[in-house]
């Protein structure tokens, strides 16, 4: 028996989204996941603005992915205007990006904890454990970025504030003391995930696909050739009324559907051999939290940041040079592209976020899966729908 299932408002995800499934005998033959959040027009809003405001305005795209947009925006303007950034500032940006990676990834664990821990007391104990770690990530964001949300210290040219040695030492000790707690929470998450799979009778390779992977760096981000991206409208890919309802674009790096995010970084930069499936994706995202904190510990222990960290050169370019700023966000590769004129005004802006890229990966992962498990597949990618419909 063949039927069509449409769900709009997927629970335990960030932002209003829809799921379209063609199901035959309980198995998904074709599936699409898409955004339903209204487009706010950030790319158009930025045109005509002074280039220095790009990190400020783009951080408002989302309250979760704020720092990653600030970093990518600043790097894009710097690339367009040949502004050299102090190396120590780049290290602090990397640290902020890793802190927001942990902050976001652990929030995702809280969101899906309803799936993992059916007993309310177990769920609350896990959430309390995770929140203690998120508090430390928040301290890093606030102390170095200036605020937990919409960090004002990320500027075109670097980072606005130096760090006093006493504060740096305090942050380092806090990070070191948190690592054992992070290891414990990782084990708790693994146990909950294994219990979910057993309880629901889910196949170990649920959501497996054969797509290639896309990432630029393990921790921070490296430039990409933006000319190798292709974009398709919902009208080109989606069936029926979804052509008019979906609010996201579909980017294709090198003209292909790909997966970006934790597994992509593991495969491309650590030689990891993927087994496939969304359970593995959950586990690799959780492992990134521990790796991120170890990298933060390394940065804080090996460098000092008590001197000028900002190149105050005013942005200016020829209006033709395309500046690309890349940051490896929690969910994958986040890309900003900008052109700046001689007066320092933005004349072109384009943003490609990880969830946009992963819409195609989710569609591929749904094929052949039990229809009853479709939402588990979607949630494993931790989609940020607000970012995807910027």
pLDDT for position 2: 74
CA angle 206, 209, 214 (to 5 degrees): 125
pLDDT for position 150: 87
**Which residues are annotated binding-site positions for Ni(2+)?**
65, 384
**Which residues are annotated binding-site positions?**
43, 62, 65, 351, 384, 387, 390
- The answer to whether the CB of 334 falls within 8 A of the CB of 352 is yes
Q: Is the pTM of this model over 0.85?
A: yes
Q: Which two tokens stand for residue 176?
A: 């070191």
Strands 27-35 and 17-24 turn out to be: antiparallel
How many Cβ atoms from other residues are within 10 Å of residue 342's Cβ?
9
Question: Would you kindly state where each structural domain of the chain is located, as residue ranges?
Answer: 2-388
Task: Decide if domain 2-388 falls under CATH 1.10.645.10.
Answer: yes
**Which residues are annotated binding-site positions for Fe cation?**
65, 387
- The answer to whether the CB of 383 falls within 8 A of the CB of 33 is yes
Residue 351 has, within 13 A of its CA and on its CB side, a CA count of 33
In DSSP terms, which residues pair with 3 in a beta bridge? 23
pLDDT for position 64: 83
Q: Tell which residue, 94, 165, 59, has the closest CA to residue 85.
A: 94
**Consecutive sets of 10 residues in the chain, 390 residues long: mean pLDDT of each?**
80 89 96 95 97 97 92 98 98 98 97 95 97 98 94 97 96 98 97 96 96 98 96 96 95 97 98 96 98 98 96 97 98 98 98 98 98 96 95
| Residues making up the chain, counted from first to last | 390
How many Cβ atoms from other residues are within 10 Å of residue 11's Cβ?
11
Q: Which two tokens stand for residue 291?
A: 């790796």
pLDDT for position 5: 81
pLDDT for position 154: 98
Helix (H) or strand (E) holding 6: strand 2-8
Strands 323-329 and 259-260 turn out to be: unpaired
Alpha helices by DSSP H, the chain: 42-46, 54-58, 66-81, 87-116, 120-145, 165-200, 234-237, 242-245, 262-270, 278-302, 354-366, 374-380, 385-388
Alpha carbon of 213 to those of 149, 273, 311, 378: distances in Å? 30, 12, 35, 18
**Which residues are annotated binding-site positions for Mg(2+)?**
43, 62, 351, 390
Helix (H) or strand (E) holding 260: strand 259-260
């Amino acid at each position: 028996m063949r039927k069509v299932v449409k769900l709009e408002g997927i629970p335990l995800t960030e932002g209003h989204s829809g799921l379209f499934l063609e199901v035959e005998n309980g198995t998904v033959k074709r599936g699409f996941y898409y955004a339903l959040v209204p487009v706010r027009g950030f790319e158009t809003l930025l045109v005509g603005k002074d280039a220095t405001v790009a990190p400020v305005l783009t951080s408002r795209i989302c309250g979760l992915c704020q720092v990653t947009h600030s970093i990518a925006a600043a790097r894009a303007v710097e690339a367009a205007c040949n502004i050299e950034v102090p190396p120590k500032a780049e290290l602090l940006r990397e640290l902020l990006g890793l802190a927001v990676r942990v902050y976001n990834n652990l929030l995702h664990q809280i969101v899906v904890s309803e799936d993992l821990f059916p007993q309310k007391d177990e769920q609350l104990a896990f959430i309390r454990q995770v929140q203690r770690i998120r508090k430390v990530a928040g301290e890093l964001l606030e102390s170095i970025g200036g605020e937990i949300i919409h960090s004002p210290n990320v500027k075109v040219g670097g980072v606005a504030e130096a760090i006093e040695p006493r504060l740096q030492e305090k942050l380092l000790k806090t990070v070191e003391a948190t690592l054992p707690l992070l290891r414990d929470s990782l084990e708790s998450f693994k146990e909950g995930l294994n219990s979910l799979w057993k309880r629901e009778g889910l196949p170990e390779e649920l959501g497996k696909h054969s797509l290639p992977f896309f990432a630029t760096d393990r921790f921070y981000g490296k430039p990409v050739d933006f000319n190798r991206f292709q974009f398709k409208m919902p009208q080109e890919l989606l069936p029926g009324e979804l052509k008019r309802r979906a609010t996201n674009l579909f980017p294709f790096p090198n003209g292909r559907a790909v997966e970006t995010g934790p597994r992509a970084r593991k495969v491309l930069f650590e030689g990891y051999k993927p087994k496939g499936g969304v359970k593995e994706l959950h586990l690799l995202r959780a492992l990134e939290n521990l790796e991120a904190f170890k990298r933060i510990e390394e940065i804080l222990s090996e460098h000092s940041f008590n001197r000028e960290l900002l190149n105050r050169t005013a942005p200016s370019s020829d209006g033709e040079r395309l500046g690309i700023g890349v940051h490896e966000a929690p969910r994958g590769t986040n890309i900003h592209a900008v052109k700046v004129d001689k007066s320092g005004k933005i004349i072109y802006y384009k943003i490609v976020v990880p969830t946009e890229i992963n819409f195609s990966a989710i569609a591929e992962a749904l094929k052949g899966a039990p229809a009853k498990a479709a939402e588990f597949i979607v949630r494993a990618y931790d989609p940020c729908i607000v970012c995807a419909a910027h």
